[in-house]
Amino acid sequence: MAVTIAVLSQKGGTGKTTTVRSLHDVLERVGLDVLSIDADPQGNLSDYFDVDPTAQPTLGEVLAGQARAIDAVHGQVIPANLGLAEAELVLAGKIGREVTLRNALRDVKRRHDVILIDCPPTLGLLTVNALVAATHALLSTQAQHFSLQGVEQAMQIFDLARDTLNPELELLGVLLNIANMRTRHARETLVALQERFPGKVFDTVIRQSIAYAESAERARPILDYRAERGADYIDLAAEVLDRLGMSERASRLDEVRRETLPPRLLEAMP
């Protein structure tokens, strides 16, 4: 049964979708069978995977009971579009609405090693469904003034899902994303997160770069578009695999680094 990671944030613009796409790419490079699920009606992850905008069925049809999740897989992703917002409204009136996604993914989970769910930038029913369907949650946040407050709000939804519907749900970690660590504010934000969530904040910080937006626009993983900017995600994948108990897979990341990163960057690494 697949390890299923819901990647969530209290607000948009925290690099959440880029994190899902980049982790997907790195985890595939170490030999894992990975599926991503776009649970955001904006469909940004679907665009990142270069899915045809007219592709059918999507996650919306799956949640509405009109299609099987297996039939909604397009390449490496179950896509979404604005129809997912309508499906969420329909879902709100159903009994057992919080477990709809978990039930829909039963067959899919048998076919993959890892499933990544890109949650919408709100803490509503779609995010709750993702957390109930997941085995782990990864919280993404920016180095901004209200970042700790946002993580606290996301943790409230996490606790609600775990305490009421998914007692086996684990917090995989909190990720500081799109950060300029040369600024005092970013460094103070990281310290505040570490104090509030001891042992749960990833050592890896995803550094700020326009390259991530450019890679999304071109529908290319960051390691293919600008490999040197993908180094942070290789480091993050190492921590993720370690926390999941997949140390054998993590050991293959050295080979990924040698195959993808520029020699000058490899020489600078400890």
Q: Which residues contact 262 (CB under 8 A, 6 or more apart)?
A: 227, 228
The pLDDT value recorded for residue 128 is 95
Burial 55-94 (b: 16+ CB within 10 A, else e): eebbbbbbbbeebebeebbbebbbbbbebbeebbeebeee
* Ranges of residues in the chain whose predicted pLDDT is under 50: none
Q: Helix H segments across 178-246? A: 184-196, 211-217, 222-225, 231-243
pLDDT of the residue at 231: 93
Q: What is the 3-state secondary structure (H, E, C) of 17-49?
A: HHHHHHHHHHHHHCCCCEEEEECCCCCHHHHHC
Q: What are phi and psi of 262, to 5 degrees?
A: -60, 145
Query: Which pair of structure tokens corresponds to residue 20?
Result: 């899902």
Phi then psi for 116, rounded to 5 degrees? -110, 130
What pLDDT score was predicted for residue 11?
Answer: 76
pLDDT at position 150 = 83
Q: Could you give all domains of the chain from N- to C-terminal order, each with its CATH number? A: 3-268 (3.40.50.300)
* Predicted pLDDT of residue 95: 86
What is residue 257's predicted lDDT score, i.e. its pLDDT? 93
pLDDT tens string 134-182: 999 999 998 876 777 888 899 999 999 999 999 999 999 999 998 888 8
pTM of the full structure: 0.95
